[in-house]
Amino acid sequence: MSKRVSLTAGLAVLCLSVTAGADIVPMASRGITLDQKEVQMGFDFTLGLNSGQVGEAWSFGHGVPDGFIALDRSRNPGRYPAIDLTGYEHQRHSGFRSAFGILDDLEVGFALNAFNFTRIRDAQGHVNNSAELGGAEVYVTWAFLPFLGVELGFLFPAEDWDEHRIGVRLGIPILIPLVEDLFTITLREDMEFFFVKGGPTIQTFTDLGLTLSPLPEFFLEMFVGFRYGIHRPHGDARLPLGLKVGVTPAPPLDLGLTFVFGDLLDHGADARSLGLSGSFRF
């Protein structure tokens, strides 16, 4: 017991030493990458709120990456992959995540989309539970200009290697501050290549985001995106829309609550989710 108390006290002292004398940086003032030698660790939890399926899908992350289950179309015709659960995709890396600022403009990171659960009901009312490990991503981001960067990520499936292959993500993040410390526009374009069995799957994801920090301790984010998957015999399009309300109660800590419509094109308000996220920097 005394060892646990000592460890807890040590962690508390570390947190206090990190926050002492530091000012809160508003979310609207954050850069594309972390500062040099800065470490950030975080988590994301997503709960499905789809019409008729509230609470029947959840994930430590955003759900299974689309490309990893692209071949499910042959087994489930007409079903868009991952529509059971789509999280706050404006934040590309999800689950249990960590990042390190090698330089002020160079960041490396890792994200583990740890676990996904779905309860499936068939036409006869039978219930089957599906639980699977998510994927992992290793990435590097370089902000070669204060407002413009490039990101390269490698995505790895956690299971079913006979069906799934490694994916590659190429991203272009753009950050446009409009009002200092208050209002920022973000743009991002991603190309994702998933080398699945039977041929590659290519996806594009473009999103536009707005970040508002009326107070340093409080922020709002909203995004609208467009995802398009290129595969045979045709493509799939999806239009997600999301809102995030967040607080920074201490300089190293961010907490956020998200609400997402996963696809406004074909599913309207039926595909939706609620998310909780947190991150800690030191």
CATH number of the structural domain spanning residue 217: 2.40.160.40
Per-residue pLDDT, 18: 46
Residue 214 lies in a domain: yes
Residue 167 lies in a domain: yes
Per-10-residue mean pLDDT of the chain, 282 residues long, equals 51 46 86 95 93 84 59 42 76 94 96 80 70 85 96 83 75 95 95 74 90 97 88 69 97 96 84 94 94
Residue 20 lies in a domain: no
Per-residue pLDDT, 159: 66
Q: Which domain holds residue 42?
A: 26-281
Per-residue pLDDT, 235: 60
Residue 116 lies in a domain: yes
Per-residue pLDDT, 76: 43
Per-residue pLDDT, 153: 95
What's the whole-model pTM score? Answer: 0.83
Q: What's the token pair of residue 271?
A: 């595909």
Domain count, the chain: 1
Per-residue pLDDT, 257: 98
Residue 223 lies in a domain: yes
Q: How far apart are CA 190 and CA 171, in angstroms?
A: 4
Residue 5 lies in a domain: no
Q: How far apart are CA 79 and CA 37, in angstroms?
A: 44
Residue 21 lies in a domain: no
Which amino acid appears at position 260 of this protein? V
Per-residue pLDDT, 266: 76
Q: How far apart are CA 178 and CA 160, in angstroms?
A: 46
Per-residue pLDDT, 198: 63
Residue 13 lies in a domain: no
Cβ–Cβ < 8 Å for 175, 147: yes
Per-residue pLDDT, 12: 47
Angle, CA of 79, 81 and 83, to the nearest 5°: 85
Per-residue pLDDT, 161: 62
